[in-house]
Amino acid sequence: MGDLNGADAQPGKTSAIIDELIASVTMTDVESIVREAAERYVVGDKASEARSHITVKGVADFVTDVDTSVQKFVKARLAMRYPRIQFLGEENGEQHVDFNGLYWVLDPIDGTTNLIHDFHHSAISLGLLSGDNTVKALIYQPWSDEMFTAEAGRGAFLNGEPIHVTGESDMSRALVNVGTSPYHHEQADRNFELMRRVFVDSADIRRTGSAALDLAYVACGRADAYFEGSIKLWDYAAGRLIVTEAGGKVGDWNGGGLGHAMETAVLAGTPAIYDLLRTRYLNS
């Protein structure tokens, strides 16, 4: 990022440059890049063959040609449009940035296992971070053509219309999305016991297979909360801003912020349900 990270950079000057770069990023521009990536590689004619080319990265951790094609395309377009902003993506080891600066965080396909099985519930998730904080965010579900967006201090939106968390405060009426942390089988006993306890006390639980969409659904009121024992930075980087701008709370299971943790437990929800889950279940 040139003079943003130089040894002689002046803090005030660097901050002003970062603010200027943030202001230069227009959401309509970024949305168009992500939509084009989805049309070309996720729902287009090439998608069926591309999703069948599967590489196993680890336990229950897969990558397809769709993931890598979307990342390559989005990275290239962002670099052309915003060359001074760093890039971090899930695939191809592109995870080395100066976390004190300004950087994109991309999950090219959140919900790859769903994609492989032609289960149309995945998303492209893109956040713009300044240090520990997400300042602009979008999550795009291409099959339903739903674009969730947020900018810090400006609210959260679904296809341009304002969204807000439900405001639910009664656990017995709450619908709670859960994640199984499938890459960590050693967490299974703890995770499923937590889910059992929450299931018994809530209206119901849901498992969607996409952390980004779980967060987006809390933001727009389709769920009252979401928790998972282990997700990655690219899973939550966009969704946390969308939830908070929609009036919800997001943090780790101890109530702390997420910062730019590469892997963390996450909890999101209406303010009341967030607090109930954290104190009664996740830390009991």
What whole-number percentage of the chain has pLDDT above 90?
A: 75
CATH class for the domain made up of 2-162:
alpha beta
Measured in whole angstroms, how far is the alpha carbon of residue 153 from the centre of its chain?
Answer: 18
Per-residue pLDDT, 186: 80
Residue 6 clears pLDDT 80, i.e. is over it: no
Per-residue pLDDT, 185: 80
Residue 110 among known ligand-binding residues? yes
Residue 90 among known ligand-binding residues? yes
Q: Confidence class of residue 223 from pLDDT cuts 50, 70 and 90?
A: very high
Residue 170 among known ligand-binding residues? no
Per-residue pLDDT, 188: 86
* Interval 98-143: pLDDT, tens: 999 999 999 999 998 899 888 999 999 999 999 999 999 999 999 9
Note whether 2-162 and 171-282 share their fold.
no
CATH for 171-282 (3.40.190.80, 3.80.30.10, 3.30.70.20, 1.10.10.10): 3.40.190.80
**Interatomic CA distance for residues 35 and 28, integer angstroms:** 10
Q: What are phi and psi of 86, to 5 degrees?
A: -70, 170
Q: What is the mean pLDDT of the chain?
A: 90
Is the distance from CB of 107 to CB of 234 less than 8 angstroms? yes
Domain residue limits, the chain: 2-162, 171-282
Residue 18 among known ligand-binding residues? no
Per-residue pLDDT, 248: 99
Return the closest-CA partner of residue 127 out of 224, 245, 228, 279: 245
Residue 151 among known ligand-binding residues? no
